[in-house]
Amino acid sequence: MLKGEHLCLSDLLDQDLSSYEYFQALPSDIKRKVMECDFRSLSEMQEYVSNIMHYSD
């Protein structure tokens, strides 16, 4: 496992305060999409959210 990667999204949110705060600040529809992807790092989650928000304009 690479540094900054966790076993699953739940583990990431439980173990990393920055990831938890970022996730909690997301709109509920984006949260649902993020939960479907089960990210293991904050950077993966941020990149995904950035792409969603960019293409939904």
* Cβ–Cβ < 8 Å for 9, 40: yes
pLDDT at 55: 85
pLDDT attached to residue 29:
95
Q: Where are the alpha helices (DSSP H) in 1-57?
A: 9-15, 17-25, 28-37, 42-55
pLDDT mean for each 10 residues of the chain (57 residues): 77 96 97 94 97 84
Give me 10's structure tokens: 């739940």
pTM, two decimal places? 0.85
Q: What are the structure tokens assigned to 9, written together?
A: 């999204």
